[in-house]
Amino acid sequence: MRYLITGTAGFIGFHLARRLLEEGHSVTGFDGMTAYYNVRLKEARHAALAQFPAFKPFIGMLEDEKALAAAYDIEKPDVIVHLAAQAGVRYSLENPRAYFDANLSGTWNVLELARRAEIRHLMLASTSSVYGANPDIPFRESDRTDEPLTFYAASKKATEVMAHSYSHLHKIPTTAFRFFTVYGPWGRPDMALFKFVKGILDGSEIEIYGEGRMSRDFTYVDDLVDGIVRLSAVVPAEANRVQVPGVIDTLSHQAPFRVVNIGGGQPVGLLDFVETVEEVLGRPAKRRMLPMQKGDVPRTYASPDLLVALTGYKPETSLKDGVRAFVEWYLEARKDFLD
């Protein structure tokens, strides 16, 4: 298969591209190399992918429709996986315009490309943040997602509904997947695990928001990629509507469109998360307890039922194993391109 992946210099895009290349597929990688965090880390990801002859990188911004079209023309892929976005919940409070440009305008360009190309399957990333402070647990794809707490969450909800409209109007088979706190090697420096490991090793304080009372459904990145790859083979169509008792399929009645959680349904308290990091590192953290930050949600908790019904799979990697894999990577990587 031929894939076009947006965001291949990013955390998740890199891992997905590497997995597909290892399996013998060809990947055109599109990335803007923005300076939201250390560009050297992004360049190192692309350098690792460049070891595969079937990887063809293209540097460009999502907002540039002509650049996207040029990337598509390299190999005219069968599948588009749209992962590139302006990420970060807290940064959306500081610079919401970046989210409008990348997540709304950029996604519209991807949808236009998918319409013109008549691709087999469009897959795009959403987030558990669309559930907001949902009081019902676990979070099911059929739950209301009309109360986003940040512009980041609103922009990803908009991504879903924009894609649904294009799927209906132009019959584009589309799967939107909602990620739940993804972590692992090659992760983003603005995420909690990266900050905690760095802080503990440096002997500096780590900031624990919400007084540690929050919980997250952590998803190891290899598990997430496994979910995406499996879903790529389940193209939304009336013929594959789920008929499992107790599972509500989100396959639209108006379009070949479906939303799927990718999470294991095993939330972990923030203090338990910190203790796991301490255990793996073999040293205690200097903790600075802080109140809940604006835009934060108290918990995330995925229902994996639809993912299991569609693919027979759900994330299973233990938090300790995942944290250990990240630490092993971090200790090597910081000598090369993180410091």
Tokens of 223: 């598990």
Tokens of 278: 């301490």
DSSP string over 160-226: HHHHHHHHHHH---EEEEEE--EE-TT--TTSHHHHHHHHHHHT-EEEEGGGG--EE--EEHHHHHH
Among residues 208, 107, 207, 225, which one has the least CA distance to residue 159? 107
Say if CB 97 and CB 106 are below 8 A apart.
Answer: no
Catalytic residue among 152, 183, 220, 301: 152
Cα-Cα-Cα-Cα dihedral sign, residues 257, 263, 267, 270: negative
Give the total residue count for the chain: 339
What element of type H or E holds 3? strand 2-6
Catalytic residue check, 152: yes
Cα-Cα-Cα-Cα dihedral sign, residues 320, 321, 322, 324: positive
230: Cβ contacts below 8 Å, ≥ 6 apart: 310, 311, 312, 313
125: Cβ contacts below 8 Å, ≥ 6 apart: 12, 82, 83, 85, 156, 159, 176, 177, 179
Say if CB 228 and CB 177 are below 8 A apart.
Answer: yes
- Give the 3-state secondary structure of residue 259: strand
Catalytic residues: 152
